[in-house]
């Protein structure tokens, strides 16, 4: 999956089609122009939440510096998503009840969505359908993890990984809006990665996703999902998180959840079922619960 350091492409100028190099340096430079770093508060919250020795009081001190995030934490803990019997007004108590994983994922999702809301999507790109697909994959990944007996406190990690797996795609559209129009058209016949190979010579959304994950200092497991969710069979891609998101993505494409640019029939690699220890019939089981889980996920994201 290592992208080539320099690949040739084309871009349309006033004089017609002119050669253009789609290099990692070019993509990184455009990323700097289009996607600033995550907020210092979000970055610090994720750093602390990954530290097993972090105390709720430490986290509270940081979150208090961000009134918007503080409000989101209190709104989430008091929402029907958690259905607690008493209203929680203490930020520190809310953090204790929600747990480090949920706080980290809330901070990350809020920061990412805030960044994306400020950007104008490429004209050819259906943003609403994209987010429905992303939420669907996140919800499906969480359901698959739950079916496999993953401990409750880790379930939101699977949701966030599914939510962000394709984030490189709209960001690619910010950076290369004209090329995105051609990718959307070509993807129906040759798939997204095939279209990116034709239009951008392979420097596509998986490469952009990996660069974005590195820029935002996301976890290695999450970076692998953003880079390798289409290729779980290659070395280094066989993580539990990536295999689960791959399966969830295939399921959502099969039943048509949200933006599906690739119109070709899609089958799950049999190796994935074996590695995850699940039967192929899990797709039908997940599909039956998916709509309800998507609505719950929307509630989590809307706080």
Mean pLDDT, residues 191-220: 89
Structure tokens given for 112: 């990412």
Residue 261 has which token pair?
A: 């640019």
Summarised one tens digit per residue, pLDDT across range 253-262 is 988 898 777 7
Label residue 5 by pLDDT band (50, 70, 90).
very low
Residue for token pair 């080539």: 4
**% of the chain beyond a pLDDT of 90:** 51
* pLDDT above 70: percentage of residues in the chain: 91
User: Is residue 2 scored above 70 in pLDDT?
Assistant: no
Predicted local distance difference test score (pLDDT) of residue 20: 53
Q: Is the pLDDT of residue 167 over 60?
A: yes
Map the chain to HEC letters. Answer: CCCCCEEEEEEEECCEEEEEEEEHHHHHHHHHHHCCCCCHHHHHHHHHHCCCCCCHHHHHHHHCCCHHHHHHHHHHHCCCCCCCCCCCCCHHHHHHHHCHHHHHHHHHHHHHHHHHHCCCCCCCCCHHHHHHHHHHHHHHHHHHHHHCCCCHHHHHHHHHHHHHCCCHHHHHHHHCHHHHHHHHHHHHHHHHHHHHHHHHCCCCHHHHHHHHHHHCCCCHHHHHHHHHCCCCCCCCCCCHHHHHHHHHHHHHHHHCCCCCCCCCCCCCCHHHHHHHCCCCCHHHHHHHHHHHHHHHHHHHHHC
* CA 75 to chain centroid: 23
Whether 88 has a pLDDT exceeding 90, the answer reads yes
170-180 pLDDT, tens digit per residue, is 999 888 888 88
Could you tell me which residues are beta bridge partners of residue 23? 6
pLDDT in tens, 108-152: 999 998 888 777 776 777 888 899 999 999 999 999 999 999 999
Q: What are the extents of the domains in the chain?
A: 120-302
* CATH top class, domain 120-302: mainly alpha
Q: How many C-beta neighbours within 10 Å does residue 108 have? A: 23
pLDDT tens digit sequence for 223-265: 999 999 999 888 888 899 999 999 999 999 988 898 777 777 7
């Amino acid at each position: 999956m290592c992208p080539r350091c320099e690949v040739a492409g084309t871009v349309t100028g006033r004089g017609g089609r002119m050669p253009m190099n789609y290099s990692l340096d070019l993509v990184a430079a455009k990323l700097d122009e289009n996607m600033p770093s995550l907020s210092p508060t979000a970055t610090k919250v994720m750093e602390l939440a990954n530290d097993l020795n972090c105390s709720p009081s430490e986290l509270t001190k940081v979150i208090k510096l961000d009134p918007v995030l503080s409000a989101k934490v209190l709104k989430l803990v008091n929402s029907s998503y958690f259905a607690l019997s008493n209203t929680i007004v203490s930020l520190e108590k809310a953090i204790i009840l929600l747990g480090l994983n949920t706080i980290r994922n809330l901070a990350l999702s809020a920061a990412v969505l805030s960044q994306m809301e400020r950007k104008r999507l490429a004209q050819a790109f259906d943003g609403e359908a994209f987010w429905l697909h992303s939420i669907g994959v996140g919800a499906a990944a969480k359901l698959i993890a739950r079916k496999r007996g993953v401990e409750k406190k880790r379930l939101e990690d699977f949701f966030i990984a599914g939510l962000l797996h394709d984030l490189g795609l709209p960001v690619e559209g910010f950076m290369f809006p004209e090329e995105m129009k051609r990718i959307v058209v070509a993807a129906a016949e040759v798939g997204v990665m095939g279209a990116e190979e034709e239009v951008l010579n392979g420097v596509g959304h998986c490469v952009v996703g990996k660069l974005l994950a590195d820029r935002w200092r996301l976890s290695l497991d999450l970076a692998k999902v953003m880079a390798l969710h289409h290729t779980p069979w290659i070395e280094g891609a066989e993580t539990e998180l990536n295999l689960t998101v791959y399966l969830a993505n295939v399921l959502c494409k099969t039943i048509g959840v949200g933006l599906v640019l690739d119109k070709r029939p899609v089958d799950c690699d049999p190796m994935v079922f074996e590695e995850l220890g699940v039967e192929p019939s899990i797709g039908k089981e997940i599909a039956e619960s998916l709509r309800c889980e998507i609505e719950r996920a929307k509630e989590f994201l809307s706080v």
